[in-house]
Structure 1
Amino acid sequence: MLKTEGINAHLLEKFTPNPGARPLLPALNAKAQVALMCRMLRREGWDDHIAGHITVRQSDGTILTNPWELAWDELRASDIVTLDRHGKVLDSDWNVTPALGLHLQLHELRPDANVVIHNHARWSGIWADLQQVPPVYDQSGAYCGVELPLYDDYTGTFEKQQTSLSAAEALGDAKWALLANHGALVVGRDLRQAHLRVVTLEWRCRRAYEVKLAGGGRPLADAVVERLAMADANGFPFLWEAMARRELRNDPSVLE
């Protein structure tokens, strides 16, 4: 199991994605990676029909995103849309949701936020509707730290520029947030980091709800959570690849 002190601590800080001769994944272009991310997160419970969007800023300033018309479990690499920094579609006949304004503003405000993900998720959505921040009860809910902002000024969907801007500014430099009566928002440096944040958030929220239903428990001490949270720096070793392989086994056409 994960140790945060002693001989194993450096593994989370300096691991290499493929230490052996056998590749963990086939070569994947940028659009294939975004399509896989959609499939992977849908399996985690980020699955409100055709709602939800992922944006990934590229090194040239363009942004990749999922189209509005397709659910996360059906889209393929060729469906991923390229946008300019203002949200104009550059290479697709698909549409994108007007609610992407929040993402575009976050990309502008946050140089570190190359990935922005939003959905009305299953377990984090419960806590967003309760307008409460779930405690951390176990290791798998601790990988990204204690602090979880709750944005509680929801006045409607994010099509209006001022509404999305106020939410983007309220996030500050946080890595994730619960949006009261709405859903969850996660940002990250890259897909690996954002993936770990999403799965950690959902696990944390699920466990906290289950413990609450069971009559309550004793959360982990904040100091313990912060020691475990060193995984957040790079993403948990090999997790992204393992979950990507699961999706490839389930439906190899995601790469088309």
Structure 2
Amino acid sequence: MLKTDGINRQLFEKFAVNPGERPLLPPLSPKAQVTLMCRMLSREGWNEHIAGHITVRQPDGSVLTNPWELAWDELRASDIVTIDEDGKVLDSQWNITPAIGLHLQLHKLRPEINVVIHNHAHWSGIWANLQQVPPVHDQAGAYCGVDLPLYNEYEGTFEKNDLSRSAAVALGNAKWALLANHGALVVGKDLRQAHLRVITLEWRCKRAYEVKLAGGAPALPDEVVERLSITDANGFPFCWEAMARRELRDDPSILE
């Protein structure tokens, strides 16, 4: 899931280990990677109690997801649930949220998308409730470009299949979106790409709100944001690993 390609491939091949030949991370199972993602994003503010769900499609077509009953910051690898493409649980006694329908629709509509993440996040949630798209004020908020759609036809949660499909279609080819009066949604080809998008979205929203409270200031012009954005789909080199190491230092039981 954490393969690299594009302009960062040579960087990762050259610096995948430090001068002491120590790997950046221990070997991680797919379920451990999903668990780490949940822990990492919970720390970023995607942590509204037991709300939120991540789905990660596997090469065999099955999907890994977090269980409904557990908060993201308490998950261990053994808690991650495998489901089929229609949402049937394959290997767990845990349940999955009925709202997983939007994820499954997105996976079916967009074969290039292997990761779908939704939560009622802190900073992006503020802008979703304001029903406004936050401007970009700094480099870290510009990592994923300008375009940020606001899906503003709130009709409740996403349990119903027809509503899930309509929402998935409305999102088009977007890499992320604000869901008005609801939360945020991010998709990606893999965990590394999705991680960069989540942390960029939260940083952009946080800085925009802080600037707004301070009295406001001109945003970066769109052309500057696009110039600052990270065009490589693999995201910022080494960031995923650094954030994963932080979680493992705090709680090695994540891998259990």
The equivalent of 2:150 in structure 1 is 150
Q: What is the aligned counterpart of 2:11 among 10, 15, 29?
A: 15
Match status 1:193 vs 2:189: no
Query: What are the superposed Cα offsets for residues 205-232 of structure 1, whole Å, 9 maximum, x if unpaired?
Result: 0000000000001111111111221255
Verify the 8 A CA contact 2:142 2:225 in the aligned structure 1. yes
Counterpart Cα distance in 2 of 1:59 and 1:122: 32
- Please state whether the residue corresponding to 1:136 is helix, strand or coil: coil
Report the alpha carbon displacement of residue 163 of structure 1 after superposing the two structures with TM: 1.2
Verify the 8 A CA contact 1:143 1:232 in the aligned structure 2. no
The equivalent of 2:3 in structure 1 is none
Pairing of 1:212-223 with structure 2 (within 5 A): 212-223=212-223
Report the alpha carbon displacement of residue 188 of structure 1 after superposing the two structures with TM: 0.2
Counterpart Cα distance in 2 of 1:72 and 1:11: 32
Counterpart Cα distance in 1 of 2:233 and 2:224: 16
The equivalent of 1:122 in structure 2 is 122
Verify the 8 A CA contact 2:7 2:232 in the aligned structure 1. no
Counterpart Cα distance in 2 of 1:85 and 1:178: 25
Counterpart Cα distance in 2 of 1:155 and 1:131: 14
Counterpart Cα distance in 2 of 1:173 and 1:224: 23
Q: Percent identity?
A: 76
Counterpart Cα distance in 1 of 2:215 and 2:33: 41
- Please state whether the residue corresponding to 1:163 is helix, strand or coil: helix
Report the alpha carbon displacement of residue 15 of structure 1 after superposing the two structures with TM: 2.7
Verify the 8 A CA contact 2:146 2:225 in the aligned structure 1. yes
Query: What are the superposed Cα offsets for residues 27-46 of structure 1, whole Å, 9 maximum, x if unpaired?
Result: 00000000000000000000
The equivalent of 2:243 in structure 1 is 243
Counterpart Cα distance in 1 of 2:11 and 2:187: 22
What is the TM-score normalised by the length of structure 2? 0.94
Report the alpha carbon displacement of residue 112 of structure 1 after superposing the two structures with TM: 1.2
Query: What are the superposed Cα offsets for residues 53-82 of structure 1, whole Å, 9 maximum, x if unpaired?
Result: 000000000000000000000010000000
The equivalent of 1:79 in structure 2 is 79
In 2 relative to 1, CA 14–124 (structure 1 residues): closer, same or farther, beyond 3 Å? farther
Counterpart Cα distance in 2 of 1:121 and 1:132: 15
Pairing of 1:1-256 with structure 2 (within 5 A): 12=8, 14-16=10-12, 18=16, 20=18, 21-231=21-231, 233-256=233-256
In 2 relative to 1, CA 13–30 (structure 1 residues): closer, same or farther, beyond 3 Å? closer
Query: What are the superposed Cα offsets for residues 168-193 of structure 1, whole Å, 9 maximum, x if unpaired?
Result: 00110010000000000000000000
Report the alpha carbon displacement of residue 234 of structure 1 after superposing the two structures with TM: 1.1
In 2 relative to 1, CA 40–117 (structure 1 residues): closer, same or farther, beyond 3 Å? same
- Please state whether the residue corresponding to 1:170 is helix, strand or coil: helix
- Unmatched 5+ residue regions in structure 2? 1-5
